Amino acid sequence: QNKNMFNIAKYFQKFTKIAESNLDSNNKIINAIKNISGLTIEGKNFGLQDGVLRFNLNPVQKNEIFMRKSKILSELNSLGSGVRDIR
């Protein structure tokens, strides 16, 4: 039974690492957006899937980001965020 507990702990440890990685990636995105555009956004305002960053923001905020898209992408690439494009 002790072996099963170890396997369960190891199993959950994988999910903990994934969650920490996602949180780190989100923080990199939030900080890059703030540093370059001045906008303060939250994790609920965007999603990252297959290297594509998509925003759920009002049109003015989206324009602020898209006007600085190349700078933001450059910053995110230098941070190793995994973001390839912003749409």
- pLDDT single digits (tens) 17-62: 665 556 678 999 999 999 999 999 999 999 999 999 999 999 999 9
Collapsed DSSP state (helix, strand, coil) of residue 83: coil
d(CA 30, CA 36): 10
Q: Can you state the angle between helices 2-37 and 59-67, rounded to 10 degrees?
A: 80
Q: What is the 3-state secondary structure (H, E, C) of 47-63?
A: EEECCEEEECCCHHHHH
pLDDT band at 4 (very low <50, low <70, confident <90, very high): low
Q: pTM (2 decimals)?
A: 0.74
Asked if residue 65 lies in contact with residue 36, where contact means CB atoms within 8 angstroms, the answer is no
CB-CB neighbours of 40 under 10 Å = 10
pLDDT band at 68 (very low <50, low <70, confident <90, very high): very high
d(CA 59, CA 64): 9
